[in-house]
Chains A and B, each alone.
Chain A
């Protein structure tokens, strides 16, 4: 699990930097929703995260309707998706 934990921390830092968030990376609750409640991100942020992820991890996020909601559900879900793509 240590890989996932460190990936979560790395991703939190990436998101805070890419989006100029006020929050400290370690303050982001990995289980909290990224959009709406929780961090309160919006579609501008979604594009920004997709861009940052493509640059750092070398793959593209996509709008696979249902699946996309799950991927962006939380920091943990996004980290798990990136982990899967990296080892795929």
Chain B
């Protein structure tokens, strides 16, 4: 693509429905009019921190900012300290939100109203449209810039891979500001196909109501955790065209139960905040992942990386990959000490560093249970040497520095970390102390996601 190439804000025909706000269908034409109206009211300078819970408002806000040449900061974590951190570190000039928030910058509510016609602006492919964040090893948000061209290429690739028909209703359960949710429920309908459901959807009954209110074909975009809850709650769903899962590996038993119960193929996306979605598979077809069109994977001794269309540099991956024929790969596990919980990644060494810098903590260690890759409910543990401090105090201090998903459960207080004769920490001993009371796989659901 030439350096000065542009791509239109929406790739949809003006009459196509791209979103559904409750019972109200929103066409591309109406969307463009609302984007133009909001863009005219935005402050002159970005970046803008957009944490709207309503997906449609999130999309209109993003598109309006983009049409004004402003970068959108995407934070999947809506906690006030995290938002304030991102705003401060990345120079946000204002925020767009549909909920009240106490932040040290102006927070605007993106009211949308149809007002005349809106053009379909041409956006430079190289323009940074959004910045997504992961947690750095010391807890600070680490930015990942998303050029408009990369976002568009990703959305087109997803539409092709999942053969999304233009009229497909998309119900997503992941926040619009999480890279996976942003790609599947904002970028996909904006650029390529489908009409996304705007409302908040989280619990099994929300998913049921949202799907029931929308026309077929219906695509459910969710996570292993929510799929498990959906099956456990036993709520009936209308016919589905497909179920897409990401953020964590999906157990084959869970995929099989979902396919049988809901009568639709269960497809998984492999991706990362830095790269976006890069490969997919149907879980029941086996362990091989099919790269998205245009992705180029390199697998070497030092690790795997993927070259993503539109991104200047290849993205190193947190997993160990192995080719398994026909251009496909399998995942052999996480590299180093990276762990992933609730769709967020962290390094155990980084968490340990944060833990051991807490006042009164003399020594400490974060560790993951052995079933962390299979059990969507897995939690980390921490062994801590902190004379005179309670587990509650330590967790309370960590809460300001660590995302909730990574807070240790349990905290094991010790007089000293168990070490072997060479001074190396005896991890097995700590695992025993941390999880000895846990009964293995006493999962009320018996769908096997916690079983080896």
Contact = CB atoms under 8 A, between A and B. Distances in A.
Interface of A: 20-22, 35-37, 40-44, 46-48, 50-51, 54-55, 60-63, 65
Interface in B181-209: 200-206, 209
A54 B342 contact: no
A47 B206 contact: no
A23 to B, nearest CB: 9
A22 B396 CA distance: 14
Given A22-B391, A22-B410, 17 more contacts: A20-B409, A36-B79, A36-B399, A37-B399, A40-B399, A42-B342, A42-B405, A43-B202, A44-B225, A46-B203, A47-B226, A50-B233, A51-B233, A54-B233, A60-B235, A61-B203, A63-B202
A21 B409 contact: yes
B232 A20 contact: no
Contacts of B438: 20
What interface size band does chain B fall in? Answer: 20 to 34
Given A22-B391, A44-B377, A50 B203 contact: yes
A43 B342 contact: yes
B285 to A, nearest CB: 27
Contacts of A21: 409
Contacts of B35: none
Contacts of B376: 44
Nearest to B411: A22
B82 to A, nearest CB: 12
A48 B232 CA distance: 10
A62 B342 contact: no
B229 A51 contact: yes
A46 B377 CA distance: 12
Q: Rank and list the top 6 A-B pairs by shortest CB-CB distance, nearest first.
A: A60-B205, A42-B404, A63-B202, A47-B229, A63-B200, A63-B206
B444 interface: yes
Contacts of B201: 63
Interface string B310-345: 000000000000000000000000000000011000
Given A50-B203, A61-B203, A62-B203, A20 B379 contact: yes
Contacts, number: 74
A37 B205 CA distance: 27
B404 A40 contact: yes
B9 interface: no
B310 to A, nearest CB: 31
A44 B405 contact: yes
B204 A50 contact: yes
Contact of A61 (B205, B226, B396): B205
Contacts of A63: 200-203, 206
Contacts of A47: 202-203, 225-226, 229
A44 to B, nearest CB: 6
Contacts of A46: 202-203
Contacts of A20: 379, 409, 438
A51 B231 CA distance: 10
B220 interface: no
B395 interface: yes
The interface centre, meaning the residue of A21, A41, A60, A65 with most chain B CB atoms within 10 A of its CB, is A60
B407 interface: yes
A63 B411 CA distance: 31
A61 B391 CA distance: 31
Contacts of B399: 36-37, 40
